[in-house]
Structure 1
């Protein structure tokens, strides 16, 4: 799967974002398929957090190429849950192809890490006031 990272994408000189090399399309297609299969076997809580990507010419070309391939998978989708898996797998494939880094550790489920630091400070101050220790 890591072979797909930083796959070169050639964009036509007419600047319309069309991906031209057939070999690159095949690599992108296999990366897409691998990511979708991986996502289908992954529990929801283990999904990685995907990064934001810039809308460069190259990234748009990758998304456009994968969008064309995506139709096959979406037509075979039986329900919304399966469609969600396909779309998330596609987003993972885009990240892998363009070389974007994302957390493979999955989302954190601990409640304490979900509370921002400023919220914890406020809660501590309220607790000390309620105990009568902060007069």
Structure 2
């Protein structure tokens, strides 16, 4: 698949892994229907000879992306290379977790997304982030707008939390925010309470209560007005 793509688009530099990831993402997200895929194949191979090549090669890429990915990227187990094989398996698991998280949060409204915790900047956590960064290129290049990019970045953050085992709250953001009193409401309620206190002391003063605290409050209330204290 990578050799064929290099022949069709020699000016585009892409690795075999990124190309396989992009094909798998396009097929699973159903960005193009069968009719459009067939039209793209015909545009890529306008001549009859190239059409024959398309019938033999392209369906294997479109219909069996898992087979292409396995053949191109899965290492062969070797008794002298157990460490490398284990590392490759871990990378593939991280790639699968990233893909699942991005697809799960794709176009998910902000209010129902899970709340992500703060993670410690340990050596292991930094290594996980560095491993996922190059995997995100494929998804970010297919982003259509800023909202789509935000969804991809949130999915990547969710994947990091799942890989390192951080606890992710299943309750959406709206649950935590609905129980909290907005700041504007608190300010209004405080002003109402102060006004009620002032009204009560004015009533006490009019009834003949001349205690120093009441008198002081009344003088402050009428400061700068034309109302006579008497």
TM value normalised by structure 2: 0.44
**Runs ≥4 residues deviating over 4 A:** 109-112, 122-125
Question: Runs of 5+ in structure 2 lacking a partner?
Answer: 1-85, 202-230
Equivalent pairs, count: 113
In the alignment, does 2:135 pair up with 1:56?
A: no
In the alignment, does 2:171 pair up with 1:105?
A: yes
In the alignment, what sits opposite 2:135?
69
In the alignment, does 2:111 pair up with 1:45?
A: yes
Partners of 1:128 and 1:134 within 8 A in 2: no
Partners of 1:45 and 1:106 within 8 A in 2: yes
SS of equivalent to 1:108: helix
Higher RCO structure, 1 or 2 (CA under 8 Å, sep 6+): 1
Kindly state the Cα deviation for residue 134 of structure 1 after the two structures are TM-superposed: 6.6
Q: 1:134 to 1:58 in 2, by over 3 A?
A: farther
Kindly state the Cα deviation for residue 88 of structure 1 after the two structures are TM-superposed: 0.5
Correspondence for 2:146 among 61, 80, 84: 80
Kindly state the Cα deviation for residue 30 of structure 1 after the two structures are TM-superposed: 0.5
In the alignment, does 2:160 pair up with 1:94?
A: yes
Kindly provide the CA deviation profile for residues 51-89 of structure 1, in whole angstroms up to 9, marking residues without a partner as x: 111111100110000001111111111221111111010
Kindly state the Cα deviation for residue 114 of structure 1 after the two structures are TM-superposed: 4.7
In the alignment, what sits opposite 1:14?
none
In the alignment, what sits opposite 2:23?
none
Q: Which moved more, 1:48-57 or 1:91-100?
A: 48-57
Question: Runs of 5+ in structure 1 lacking a partner?
Answer: 1-19
SS of equivalent to 2:170: coil
Kindly state the Cα deviation for residue 115 of structure 1 after the two structures are TM-superposed: 3.8
Distance in structure 2 (CA, Å) of the matches to 1:32 and 1:101: 17
Kindly state the Cα deviation for residue 49 of structure 1 after the two structures are TM-superposed: 1.6
In the alignment, what sits opposite 1:129?
194
TM value normalised by structure 1: 0.72
In the alignment, what sits opposite 1:16?
none
Structure with higher Rg: it is 2
